[in-house]
Structure 1
Amino acid sequence: MEISLALLKPHVVRNTYALQQLKTQIETNFNILAAKDLRITKELSECFYAEHKDKFFYYRLTSLMQSGFCYAFILQSESCIQKWRNLMGPTKVFRAVYTEPECLRSLYGLSDTRNACHGSDSTVSALREIAIVFPEFDISRVASQSK
């Protein structure tokens, strides 16, 4: 069993219909180990997206994540990271609309930054991101249950 972080971005959380649709997809496809709504601070956003600090979209992305409440999940399933990434679809909404019209980003994304959701891209990223967003979560508990 594998775990991943899933984040629903502020524009989705503000849209009751979109929020419910995404939550339903998550509940249907994954075991949810933890979930919470949270307001991402400037510090949290900068820490979370530190790897993108020198990229052109960094300020736009960190500002977006601070613009309202997000909803965060720790997901668990077989091949969880790839499964969640497949459900989300391509990062770029324009590409998602044309190549995977039923994916979450195609249905609920508005732009490349406001692309509806975030998912960890590797086990290392998942562990780092979960520690940032869910500092109270005991990751060793999951590791011991998976054995």
Structure 2
Amino acid sequence: MQKTLIIFKPDCVQKKHVGAVLGRFEQAGFSLIGAKMIRLTPALLREHYSHVADKPFYPEIEKFMSSHPVLVAALQGDNIVAKVRELLGPTDSKKAAKGTIRGDFGADMMVNVVHASDSEENGKIEIARFFKADEIFA
């Protein structure tokens, strides 16, 4: 069983889409194994987005992602990383087909409902970044 991290971004929380999006993950057969609402700090965001923290667009990401509390969740399921990314659609919501999560709820490249781990390895790293071991109920 693979695990992945999902961050329900500020737009998802503010527009009250968390239940609908989580429901899609559950309907796909995935199990929720951890969840909590947090406000992302600049230090945590810089660590999480370290691969783009030196890019000129990073301050916009930090501003958006810290603008409102988010829900972080750990999910588990067979081949979950690939299946979640398929459910989400492309990162740019404008290019996402209707019926995908981003196509139905997203607005653009950043305001795109959720972050999801892009590999099994990153899923483990990201879950450990946001959750203590005793907060995961696998």
If the length of structure 1 is used for normalisation, what is the TM-score? 0.86
The alignment's C-alpha RMSD in Å is: 1.9
Secondary structure (helix, strand or coil) at the match of 2:133 reads coil
Work out the CA distance in 2 between the residues paired with 1:81 and 1:94.
22
Q: Report the equivalent of 2:98.
A: 101
1:55-108 per-residue CA deviation (whole Å, 9 max, x = no partner) reads: 333111121110101111111110010011111110011111xxx211011111
Q: Report the equivalent of 2:25.
A: 26
Q: Report the equivalent of 2:121.
A: 124
Superposed, 1:1-147 pairs within 5 Å as: 1-16=1-16, 18-29=17-28, 30-96=30-96, 100-134=97-131, 136-137=132-133
Work out the CA distance in 1 between the residues paired with 2:137 and 2:22.
24
Work out the CA distance in 2 between the residues paired with 1:139 and 1:39.
17
Task: Report the alpha carbon displacement of residue 133 of structure 1 after superposing the two structures with TM.
Answer: 1.2
Structure 2 gap segments, 5+ residues each: none
Q: How many residues align?
A: 137
Whose RCO is larger (CA < 8 A, sep 6+)? 2
Pair member with larger Rg: 1
Percent identical: 29
Q: Which amino acid aligns with 2:133?
A: F
- Check the 8 A contact 1:60/1:113 in 2, yes or no: no
Q: Report the equivalent of 1:145.
A: none
Task: Report the alpha carbon displacement of residue 138 of structure 1 after superposing the two structures with TM.
Answer: 5.3
